[in-house]
Amino acid sequence: MGLKTKAEYIESLRKLNPTVYMFGQKITNVVDNPRLRAGIESTGATYEVAELPEFRDLVVTQSPLIGEPVNRFTLPPGSIEDLVARVKLNRALGCRVGTCHQRCTGLDCLSTLAIVTFDIDQKYGTNYGKNFTEFLKYMQKNDLTANAGVTDVKGDRSLGPKEQEDKDMYLHVVEKRSDGIVVRGAKAHQTGSLSSHEIIVLPTRALRQGDEDYAIAFAIPADTKGLIHVVGRSSLDTRELDGCDTGNMRYSKYCPTLIFDNVFVPWERVFMCGQTEFAVEMVIRFSSFHRQSHGGCKAGKIDCMIGTALTLMDYNGTSKAGHLKQKVIDMIHRAETLYGCCLASSYEGKKEASGTYFIDTVLANASKIHEGKEMAESIRLMIDVCGGFVADMPSDRDFENPEVGALLKKYLKGKNDVPVENRVKMFRLAEKLAMESADTISDIHGGGSPEAHRVTIFRESNVKNKIKAAKRLAGIED
């Protein structure tokens, strides 16, 4: 089949039966829950745009593996053009949904495994590459979405995995059987796990000898027995449940914690088990791919924020205010710098031994550090331009109230030719873009902590060449 429509994607999620808890209650209907449906709609946009003529050439590509057209989110990059297209597609989607579309992490995992399973097989003669290739064919033929299970809960951060008093603080193997492995532990911040068909697990950190039980990578269906999704809180989440004060925003982001309560994984779904020295390669590859993904989608989100600021300038009658135009310009250059870093990391990519292309890690991490600072500044600038009603707009129910509704519409009107309802919707959008904590906090911590980005930049930079250049210019010969 190769490609799903959005309607087929939604229906495919209905066929799953995951174990889910939210706000202390067990959720039996994920797809129609308003809080979760808004997140599903975000991922649904990745299927929707594949059907639209203006996006199709960017989204749909040919798979050399199955010989069919596939959604780009199931294709590990096989060229520089593929690396560049990842960034452009993420920017287009970021602008379209104004939040996280939740599908890039699965592609980041697929791209990582396409490289590292080959490397493990080359050293040990294992069959992980074959396992992965069959899994990738399955993902492509059925146009599936995957979630990245990477971040362990970690327990005492001063201790390594095997040193923890409770060994479950890092996901690990508790039993090896002839037909597979049994794992236990938890993964945090699992963006879109209920919008996904598959959960792909990778290690969260470098590992050492003695950590073999923690050196695991595998994939399981999102409704596997023993896998529990506990949806985290986020600002504005109860508004989605109430169906009130959300403006016209139908897209959102949610981040469960995933508990693996003695989960069985068949051997054919295992992509690494015990090869500790390859854990760090998986971490570096995944985090770099994901930081490249962020540069595209966050630039797209800033595009949406710029549009919001300009529209409210029009609605408020401040379009000619020079100081506000300057703030919009500041937002634009932040988006383009972020985008430019990620395009550069793509154009500087290289072909790996497996045939999969990998990005320039220094440029990808530079983009992520830029994002961590400049997304917050872009939000501040948007709020500055839009005005104070971003913070305390009266409820939609107040506008509907027969006693005060008409008065509110009178006093909250801006320009005469702009319906007050439009102005209210735009303020709600600004509020969502600024205060959706599940998304705005990922600007800082998504793809790893800011310190991890800095460490990677220093480790991956060719500092010896920089020292050599400086000494040559100074006339120093070693």
Read off the DSSP letter of residue 415.
Answer: S
List of residues 6+ apart from 183 with CB closer than 8 A: 171, 172, 173, 174, 201, 216, 218, 260, 262, 263, 265
Q: How many CB atoms lie within 10 A of CB 295?
A: 32
Closest CA to 244 of 253, 252, 236, 255: 236
> What backbone torsions phi and psi does residue 222 show, to the nearest 5 degrees?
-65, -15
Read off the DSSP letter of residue 164.
Answer: -
Read off the DSSP letter of residue 337.
Answer: H
Residue type, 129: G
Number of H helices, E strands in the chain: 18, 14
DSSP alpha helices (H): ranges in 436-461? 437-440, 442-445, 450-460
Residue listed under structure tokens 């490397």: 119
pLDDT at 4: 96
pLDDT at 186: 98
Q: Name the pTM for this structure.
A: 0.92
List of residues 6+ apart from 10 with CB closer than 8 A: 31, 40, 44
DSSP alpha helices (H): ranges in 98-157? 104-124, 128-142
Closest CA to 152 of 207, 79, 210, 80: 207
| Residue 81 to residue 104: CA distance in whole angstroms | 17
| Residue 255 to residue 270: CA distance in whole angstroms | 25
Cα maximum dimension of the chain: 85
For the stretch 148-177, pLDDT in tens is 999 999 999 999 999 999 999 999 999 999
> What backbone torsions phi and psi does residue 419 show, to the nearest 5 degrees?
-55, 135
Query: In Å, how far are 20, 138, 344, 434, 449 from 443, measured between CA atoms?
Result: 26, 32, 20, 12, 10
Buried b (16+ CB within 10 A) or exposed e, 118-139: bbbbeeeebbbbebbbebbeeb
pLDDT at 243: 86
Closest CA to 144 of 190, 92, 197: 197
pLDDT at 471: 81
282-469 falls under which CATH superfamily?
Butyryl-CoA Dehydrogenase, subunit A, domain 3 (1.20.140.10)
The token pair that represents 105 in the structure block: 């992490």
| Residue 278 to residue 275: CA distance in whole angstroms | 6
| Residue 41 to residue 435: CA distance in whole angstroms | 19
Domain ranges of the chain: 282-469
For the stretch 237-261, pLDDT in tens is 888 888 888 876 789 989 999 999 9
pLDDT at 463: 80
| Residue 342 to residue 162: CA distance in whole angstroms | 36
Task: Report the chain (478 residues): mean pLDDT per 10 consecutive residues.
Answer: 91 98 96 95 97 95 96 97 96 93 95 98 98 98 97 94 96 98 97 97 95 98 98 89 81 94 98 97 93 89 95 96 96 94 95 96 86 89 94 94 97 95 95 79 63 70 84 87
